[in-house]
A and B are shown apart, each in its own frame.
Chain A
Amino acid sequence: MAPESQPMFDTDEIVLNMGPQHPSTHGVLRVVLRLDGERVVGSDVVIGYLHRGIEKLCENRDWTQIVLLTDRMDYVAAATNNVGYCQTVEKLMSIEVPRRARYLRTIMCELQRIASHCLWLGTHAMDIGAMTVFLYAFRERELILDLFEEYCGARLTYNSMRIGGLPLDIPPGWDKKVLAFCDIMDTKLVEYEQLLTHNRIWLERTKGVGVISAEEAVAIGLSGPPLRGSGVKHDIRKDEPYAAYDEMQFEVPVGEAGDTYDRYLVRIEEFRQSVKIIRQAIEGLPEGPITGKVPRLIKPPAGETYHAIESPKGELGYFIAADGKSTAPYRFRVRPPSFCNLQALPRLIQGHLVADVVALIGSVDVVLGEVDR
């Protein structure tokens, strides 16, 4: 029997297990929500369902084989991962990469940024219920996959970089096709924006949802669009240029409010900037070799280095320690942007409704392959 002091009706929080099999957790993310009605009073983000031990695997593969493993992390922008890894090893071995290769890397990174943002836009809009944007965005992503298929034969995991440069030169006419894609993208972006940017429902669903201040964003260690959405102008492409970004003219869009809508606007503007960069890179594409002087047996000298690039999702960093003796890294560690950005999720969804939880998971833009590695 209940003690007399207790009220007749007891209200209780319910624990709702969202994921790992849930349509809107973008893979196998599991969020355990404690709900008061539909309001989130506590949450616990559980990861690890896609852990494949990539870092440990890398410590047992030789330096060239690792490129292929990095594909499997952020599989929606695989070429970006390749670039990050190859540049880290090049830094470790002080290999000079030819200018043409650096330009091609820039083009591929930006194509991947568009592809990744297409996937983000589609799924994010779908989570909020705008199902048409999903198919529109995937239609354009398909064109990028076709371009990559023409370049390297693969559509998702490209293995498209080598230490010191690229494995293949671009096929004839490929640059024209990329330019044609840029023109298509410009018109299609207008289409996405017509459906969402000034849509009253979209505004109500995203404005003021999941606000994170600039200080907090920095403290949590956010990077990429979630950081810039809060108004911090930090972009590794500008701050520590790699590949050919120092020769490109582009803007770094930032938001003000740090809410879901600003993160959306930042990414939409990044589409435009990426198209701009690709155009410049194609027009200024120099002739020349595509690989630098790389020893036949890749064996970096003893030492360690950290190198970060701006992946579509934020700062993608590789820490590699070499012992100078073996043909595999002594220690291989990745700083994945999705993993670090995901830390903000419990903070973001606190006090919001269940419907906002899916909007915010989409807004942070995580890829579970990268979170778990």
Chain B
Amino acid sequence: MIDAIVLPLLKILVVLNAVLVGVTFMVLLERKVIAWAQARLGPMRVGPYGMLQPIADVLKLMVKEDITPAKADKWVFTAAPMIALIPALIVFAVVPFGPEVSIFGRRVTLAITDLNVGLLYVVSVTSIGVYGIILAGWASNSKFPLLASLRASAQLISYEVAVTMILVSMVVSAGTLSMAGIIDAQYQQGVWYAFAQPLAFVVFFIGGLAETNRAPFDMPEAEQELTGGFHTEYSGMRFALFFLAEYANMIVVSCVATTLFLGGWLQPFPNVSALSFLGFVPGWMWFLGKTFVFLYVFLWIRATLPRYRYDQLMRIGWKVLIPLGIANVVVSAVLKVLL
């Protein structure tokens, strides 16, 4: 009873809240990091050093007037933000935050569930999210969002393929689709896949940037071109849902990258006994720390780079990343057989 219902529910509650709070503070972090990069202070008024800014942001978005444009398709317009957000949240079901720990004498895995097709689940669920963007652009019945949603669909299709290729080669290397299994495989083989397969790591990261619509691939929302893109017509809480979805997706990509390439909850060089003193840091902290590194790089890139153009993005996707991805699958498969 406890194992079947209470524990999973508790985990869902904890993870969901952690993610949502994490997202709001992610927004603060983004504003702060970019402000530091740009020689300014960022939010400073709400709380010490603006630490309470996320609360003010959320309150503001909740009390804002929620406008539905007269010519919008009301049902789709309402559904689109949910379609964007829900997949971003349910992906966390398979993210392994840490190894088994014992809480009050009970063995608990620090993941809501460990599906044996975990990676497949991640790929399929994250690709649903783009429907939210496409439908939002279409339902707004406005030209800028429409252009943005066309960009989004083209972008997602191109990068989905490259990223999936990389995931395939990870599965080949690890011999399992389970997220926890992949971390175990990295432990067994004694190397994080970021070092074993650096090319795959780079391609995955670029693909991840493109899939989450982050700079320099933030074309669907390119503020300077499409005035906000797909969420131009959105306001209030519905806009906030898109916002949440974007940041939740960033966290998802960072979590997946951590799992696949940086050994998840493993400490650095887990097989080297000289470094075993690092074991005092619990696994979930390693996991969150590594995820944070990725998130920070996301922000850092946004503060540094200009934006690619839509056709250039497609060119990189189809002519560079996908061939590299396929080559990576072939090479890792051949090596797997030979070694």
Chain A residues packing against B (C-beta within 8 Å): 14, 16-17, 22-24, 38, 125-132, 135-136, 139, 195-196, 199, 201-202, 204-205, 353-358
Q: Which of B39, B225, B302 contacts A24 (CB 8 A)?
A: B225
Question: Known contacts A129-B307, A199-B306, A355-B309: does B222 contact A135 (CB below 8 Å)?
Answer: no
* Residue of B225, B304, B310 touching A358 (CB-CB under 8 A): B225
The answer to whether A129 touches B224 (Cβ under 8 A) is yes
Q: A132–B215 Cα gap in the complex (Å)? A: 13
Among B37, B39, B144, B306, the most chain A Cβ lie within 10 Å of the Cβ of B306
On whether A130 and B308 interact (CB within 8 A), knowing A23-B224, A136-B38, A354-B226, the answer reads no
Task: Beyond A38-B147, A126-B224, list 11 extra A-B contacts (CB 8 Å).
Answer: A23-B223, A23-B224, A38-B150, A131-B302, A132-B34, A201-B306, A201-B308, A205-B309, A355-B307, A358-B224, A358-B225
B160 at interface, CB cutoff 8 A: no
Q: Is B308 a contact of A205 with CB atoms below 8 Å?
A: yes
Question: Are the CB atoms of B306 and A205 closer together than 8 Å?
Answer: yes
Minimum CB–CB distance from B228 to chain A (whole Å) comes to: 9
State A147–B147 Cα separation when bound (angstroms).
45
A124→B223 CA distance, assembly (Å): 14
Q: How far apart are the CA atoms of A38 and B220 in the complex, in Å?
A: 13
State A277–B45 Cα separation when bound (angstroms).
43
B216 contacts A by Cβ under 8 Å: yes
Interface size class of B (residues with CB under 8 A): 20 to 34
Q: Shortest Cβ distance from B34 into chain A, in angstroms?
A: 8
Residue numbers of B with Cβ under 8 A of A are 34, 37-40, 143-144, 147, 150-151, 215-216, 218-219, 222-227, 302-312
Q: How far is the CA of A205 from the CA of B303 in the complex (A)?
A: 17
Are B218 and A129 touching (Cβ within 8 A)? yes
Interface pairs (30), CB distance under 8 Å: A16-B147, A17-B143, A22-B227, A23-B223, A23-B227, A24-B224, A38-B150, A127-B225, A128-B224, A128-B306, A128-B307, A129-B216, A129-B222, A131-B34, A131-B38, A131-B302, A132-B37, A132-B38, A132-B303, A132-B304, A135-B39, A195-B304, A199-B306, A201-B307, A202-B306, A204-B308, A205-B306, A205-B308, A205-B312, A355-B309
* Cross-chain contact A355 with B222 (CB below 8 angstroms): yes
Query: A359 — nearest CB in chain B belongs to which residue?
Result: B309
Inter-chain contact B306/A355, CB cutoff 8 Å: no
Q: Which residues of B contact A199 (CB under 8 A)?
A: 305-306
Pick from A24, A130, A136: contact of B305, CB under 8 Å: A130
Contact A129 B305 (CB under 8 A): yes
Q: Is the CB of A139 within 8 A of B143?
A: no
Closest 7 CB pairs of A and B: A129-B307, A130-B306, A135-B38, A24-B224, A129-B306, A128-B306, A355-B309
A256, B308: Cα distance in complex, Å: 24
Note all chain A residues with C-beta closer than 8 A to B226. Answer: 354
Q: Quick check: B39 and A136 within 8 Å, CB to CB?
A: yes
Residues of A near B306 (CB, < 8 A) are 125, 128-130, 196, 199, 201-202, 205
What CA separation (Å) do A22 and B227 show in the bound complex? 7
CB distance from B280 to the nearest CB of A (A): 39
Min Cβ gap B293→A in Å is: 21
Asked whether, in the complex, the Cβ of A14 is within 8 Å of the Cβ of B224, the reply is: no
For the complex formed, measure the closest distance between the CB of B279 and the CB atoms of chain A, giving whole angstroms: 40
* B310–A38 touching, CB < 8 Å: yes
Selected contact of A353 from candidates B143, B144, B303, B310, CB within 8 Å? B310
Judge whether B40 and A135 touch: CB under 8 Å.
yes
Task: Identify which of A22, A136, A354, A355 gathers the most chain B CB atoms within 10 Å of its CB.
Answer: A355
Q: Which residue of A lies closest to B226 (CB)?
A: A354
- Residues from chain A with a CB closer than 8 A to the CB of B303 are 131-132
Which residues of the other chain, A, contact B215 by a CB distance below 8 angstroms? Answer: 129
List of A residues within 8 angstroms of B219 by Cβ: 355
> Is A204 touching B309 in the complex (CB atoms < 8 A)?
yes
Q: How far is the CA of A199 from the CA of B34 in the complex (A)?
A: 19
A204 touches B312 (CB 8 A): yes
> What is the bound-complex CA distance between A365 and B304, given in angstroms?
23
Q: Give the nearest-CB partner of A125 in chain B.
A: B306
- Minimum CB–CB distance for B27 against chain A, Å: 16
Residues of A within 8 A of B223 (CB): 23
Least Cβ distance of B202 to chain A in Å?
Answer: 15
A372: min CB distance to chain B, Å: 22
Residues of A within 8 A of B151 (CB): 38
Residues from chain B with Cβ under 8 Å of A205 in the complex: 306-309, 312
Report Cα–Cα, A128/B144, bound state, in Å. Answer: 17
Residues B310 and A355 in contact, CB atoms below 8 Å apart: yes
Nearest CB in chain A to that of B312: its residue: A204
Query: Which chain A residues border B312 with CB–CB below 8 Å?
Result: 204-205
Which residues of A are found within 8 Å of B39, using beta-carbon distances? 135-136, 139
Bound state CA distance, A201 and B309, in angstroms?
9
Q: Please, which residues of chain A bring their CB within 8 A of the CB of B37? A: 132
- Chain B residues lying within 8 Å of A136, measured Cβ to Cβ, are 38-39
Chain A residues with CB under 8 Å of B218's CB are 129
Residues of B within 8 A of A356 (CB): 309
Residues of chain A lying within 8 A (CB to CB) of residue B307? 128-130, 201, 205, 355
B327 to chain A, nearest CB (A): 22
Query: How distant is the Cα of A201 from the Cα of B206 in the complex, in angstroms?
Result: 14
Instruction: Determine the distance from Cα of A166 to Cα of B322 in the docked complex, in whole angstroms.
Output: 65
In Å, the complex CA distance between A80 and B276 comes to 69
Query: A353: which B residues are within 8 A, CB to CB?
Result: 309-311
In the complex, what's the smallest C-beta–C-beta distance from B11 to chain A, in angstroms? 39
Nearest-Cβ distance from residue B62 to partner chain A, whole angstroms? 26
CA distance A17 to B142 in the complex (A): 11
